[in-house]
Amino acid sequence: MIGFEVHPRKRAISNEFVQKFLRIPVANVSDCMSRMTAGGARLRPMHDGTPMGGPALTVRTRPGDNLMVHKALSLAQPGDVIVVDAGGDLTNAIIGEIMTSHAQTRGLAGIIINGAIRDSGTIGRGSFPVYAAGVTHRGPYKDGPGEINCTVSLDGMTIEPGDLILGDDDGLLCVPYDQAQAILDAATAKHAAEEKMLADIAAGKLDTSWIDARLKALGCL
């Protein structure tokens, strides 16, 4: 039927990569991706801020409908992050406490909803990662249509099934499957450099000579 598709996921980022990226702030990874990729400032952590990382299991659904999200929960493997593009509509909640509890019990790494959630108090007190654009008490419909393991886009951030999804207090980021090693190498070096800067600040040794050098190059000094 047109609008109803469940595709197989052909690949997924390995847990080895997930664990290495979880040691690095999302902002450092973002800097190494030329600051060109982001899941949008609307998608905020609804939980206690525990970092999130895992391969994407993607869902595209009609706004306000969660039938295919239920199906995705049954297909997801431990460690997966379910990424739901519900059109950004905030009229109806796509998930709440029951589906979140189910996901946590099944060992998923998190859920992203480009739309609304409910039971925000319970979710907010928990450590299971949930990102969403808003909150409403109005529940979802269960009629479809929808598609699983398709390409989705969250505010311009394209996500393919199996790509690495990262999240922390600063928001969400997708690391493309084929670029994971190169981005990991760059982000690890970036994080080490920032750790050194913080140590220099604490020791009163921060080198700020780059500021005047930059201004001179711009013709200001």
pLDDT in tens, 164-202: 999 999 999 999 999 999 999 999 999 999 999 999 999
Structure-token pair, residue 114: 């480009």
Q: How far apart are CA 178 and CA 192, in angstroms?
A: 24
For CA atoms 24, 26, 28, 33, the dihedral sign is: positive
Strands 110-117 and 4-6: unpaired
Give the model's pLDDT for residue 44.
96
Over range 29-54, report the average pLDDT.
Answer: 92
Prediction pTM value: 0.93
Q: Which residues are annotated as a binding site for substrate?
A: 96-99, 118
Give the model's pLDDT for residue 4.
94
Q: Is the pLDDT of residue 16 over 80?
A: yes
Q: Is the pLDDT of residue 104 over 90?
A: yes
Q: Where are the domains of the chain?
A: 4-177
Confidence of residue 37 (pLDDT cuts 50, 70, 90): confident
Q: How far apart are CA 116 and CA 134, in angstroms?
A: 5
Q: How far apart are CA 186 and CA 123, in angstroms?
A: 34
Over range 101-127, report the average pLDDT.
Answer: 97
Task: Indicate the burial class of 204 (C-beta count within 10 angstroms; 0-12, 13-18, 19 or more).
Answer: exposed
- Name the CA dihedral angle for 64, 6, 167, 28, rounded to a multiple of 10 degrees: -130
Question: Cβ contacts of residue 105 below 8 Å, gap of 6+?
Answer: none
Give the model's pLDDT for residue 41.
86
Q: How far apart are CA 83 and CA 170, in angstroms?
A: 17
Average pLDDT of the residues of the chain: 96
Shortest CA distance to 40 belongs to which of 133, 129, 110, 163? 133
Give the three-state DSSP class for 56.
strand
Q: Which residues are annotated as a binding site for Mg(2+)?
A: 119
Q: Is the pLDDT of residue 65 over 90?
A: yes
Strands 52-61 and 164-168: antiparallel
Give the model's pLDDT for residue 105.
97
Q: Is the pLDDT of residue 22 over 90?
A: yes
Q: How large a percentage of the chain has pLDDT more than 90? A: 94
Q: Is the pLDDT of residue 82 over 80?
A: yes
Structure-token pair, residue 95: 């998930």
Over range 48-61, report the average pLDDT.
Answer: 97
Q: Which residues are annotated as a binding site?
A: 96-99, 118-119
Q: Is the pLDDT of residue 78 over 80?
A: yes
Q: Determine the CATH number of domain 4-177.
A: 3.50.30.40
